[in-house]
Structure 1
Amino acid sequence: MKKLELIKDGETLDDLQVNGYAVIQKEYGFRFGMDAILLANFAKVREKDFLVDLCSGTGIIPFVIAAKNKVNKIVGIEIQEDMVEMANRTALYNDISRKVEFINGDLKDKELIKSLNKADIVTVNPPYKLINSGLVNLDNKDSIARHEICCTLGDVIEAASIILKDKGRLYMVHRPERIADILCEMRKYKIEPKVIKIVQPSINKPPNLVLIEGQKGGGKFLKWDSTLYVYNEKGKYTKEINVIYGKEDDKNE
């Protein structure tokens, strides 16, 4: 099969600008954002690690991690069957289907979760919004990605705790307004918060994302990492964001 035949009508092929990797996405509908890219770069991955990505969507987090790191195996879990089929085509396109694969399943399915090999790392970019936050179309695929329709924050963290090895690490991106819920749920399921990194659009704007690292069975010590600013005072990407995206620094910043 020619690689371009893997891309269907209504889909786009987007260059990740890392080692020639690309990702297939719907032209209209849910598409990955900066939050997924930041999480993929926040996770500390070693060559022999087995990694599970929950709420995988397009598979962007596994693909960025695979592009930037030597990793043993990545399995993505996603409840929407069409997204899984598309992500597996992306793995074929990038010639990494032996190393990166996606499973159609519900993370609330305990039998499925327990059937997975114990993971060194779990990553997750879960739905941010509570089900009762505004009008929600329960059948809309964008709503499923953004609202806690198919799983709650507690469901996500419980699944991560089951999957992780003792001392394994959870990496999550979420909204700052949910931070109290996140920390409470992590401790409830024996994942100790270890690092928190706040993301702000700029120095004059409040945080809009939070990156959190937790360790299953870890000791009680929490580090507050330096804030990540997306734009500088001139409205251009900061040096840290340029490094994440593999871009040259703007000489005029």
Structure 2
Amino acid sequence: MANRSVLLNGLEDQVTVYNDDLSQASQIFGKDSVDVVTVNPPYFSNLSTSKKNPNEYLAIARHEIKTDLRSVIQTSSDLLKTGGKLYMVYRPDRLHELMNVMTHFRLAIKRIQFIYPKVDRKSNMMLVSAIKDGKETGLNIDYPITVYQNGEYSKEVKKMLYGE
């Protein structure tokens, strides 16, 4: 999907997408070497009581089976230059943990945007951006995004997905 987005937006000369094992990232790129990291880490802890998808790949994508939040944030911080930016999607119910882990690895959260599936539902996702070695002040909470309105994608989501 990432490569498709790069092509659709004509960014081939500006963006390179790497799809590799997280544990190899520092060896591939080197520490303090990148300006931007974008991650979509597993959202759920790997608990024995967790209901996991029977599809192994989906279970790994959603649950901390092969990696966890701490490893993702540590690797991201290791890769980023001072002033580099981290962009991620995560779950609001783990915000406190996320803030603690980011602070530990020298990442200052600068923006949070909550995503709501529908107007009458609680937020189930959030977009987060952080800066390596950034000041701890200056957190902005952006306007919310509602995914569905009247049974279809909202105008804002259509614009993001289709450019409408």
Higher-Rg member (1/2): 1
Q: Is the 1:138–1:144 contact (alpha carbons within 8 Å) kept by the matching residues of 2? A: no
Asked if structure 2 preserves the Cα contact closer than 8 Å seen for 1:167 and 1:215, the reply is yes
**Residue 199 and residue 65 in structure 1: after superposition, are their counterparts in 2 closer, same or farther (change >3 A)?**
farther
Match of 2:39 in 1: 124
Q: Which runs of 4+ in 1 moved over 3 A?
A: 135-139
Q: What residue identity is the alignment partner of 1:131?
A: N
For residues 209-234 of structure 1, the C-alpha deviation after alignment (integer angstroms, 9 at most, x for no partner) is: 111000001112100000001122x2
The answer to whether the aligner puts 1:147 opposite 2:60 as a matched pair is no
Alignment-mate amino acid for residue 45 of structure 2: L
- Percent identical pairs in the alignment equals 30
* Alpha-carbon shift at residue 246 of structure 1 (Å): 1.6
Could you tell me how far 1:66 is from its partner in structure 2? 4.7
Distance 1:62 1:222 in 2: 31
Question: Would the alpha carbon gap of residues 139 and 64 (structure 1) be closer, same or farther in structure 2, given more than 3 Å must change?
Answer: closer
Task: Give aligned pairs, total.
Answer: 159
Q: Which has the higher contact order (CA 8 A, sep 6+)?
A: 2
Give the deviation of 1:63 after TM superposition.
3.3
How far apart, in 1, do the equivalents of 2:105 and 2:10 lie? Answer: 29
SS in structure 2 of the partner of residue 108 of structure 1? helix
How well do the aligned residues superpose, as a CA RMSD in angstroms?
2.2
Correspondence 1:226 to 2:143: yes
Structure 2 unaligned spans of 5+: none
Q: Helix, strand or coil for the counterpart of 1:205?
A: coil
The equivalent residue for 1:214 is 130
Contact residue 199 and residue 230 of structure 1 kept, 8 A: yes
Question: d(CA) in 2 for partners of 1:65 and 1:223?
Answer: 27
Residues 114, 163 of structure 1: 8 Å contact kept: no
Match of 1:231, SS state, is strand
1:64 aligns with 2:5: yes
Structure 2: which amino acid aligns with 1:179? L
C-alpha contact (below 8 Å) 2:6/2:15 kept by paired residues = no
TM (norm. structure 2) is: 0.86
Quote the Cα distance in structure 1 between the aligned partners of 2:154 and 2:121. Answer: 14
For residue 141 of structure 1, report the CA deviation from its aligned partner.
Answer: 2.2
Distance 2:115 2:7 in 1: 23
Q: 1:247 to 1:63 in 2, by over 3 A?
A: closer
What displacement does 1:135 show?
Answer: 4.8
Q: Deviations over 1:128-158 (max 9, x none)?
A: 1101052558992221111101111000000
1:86-101 → structure 2 map (5 Å cutoff): none
- Residues 1:179 and 1:215: Cα distance change in structure 2 (over 3 Å): same
Matching residue within 106, 117, 122 for 1:201: 117
CA spacing shift, 1:134–1:116, aligned 2, 3 Å: same
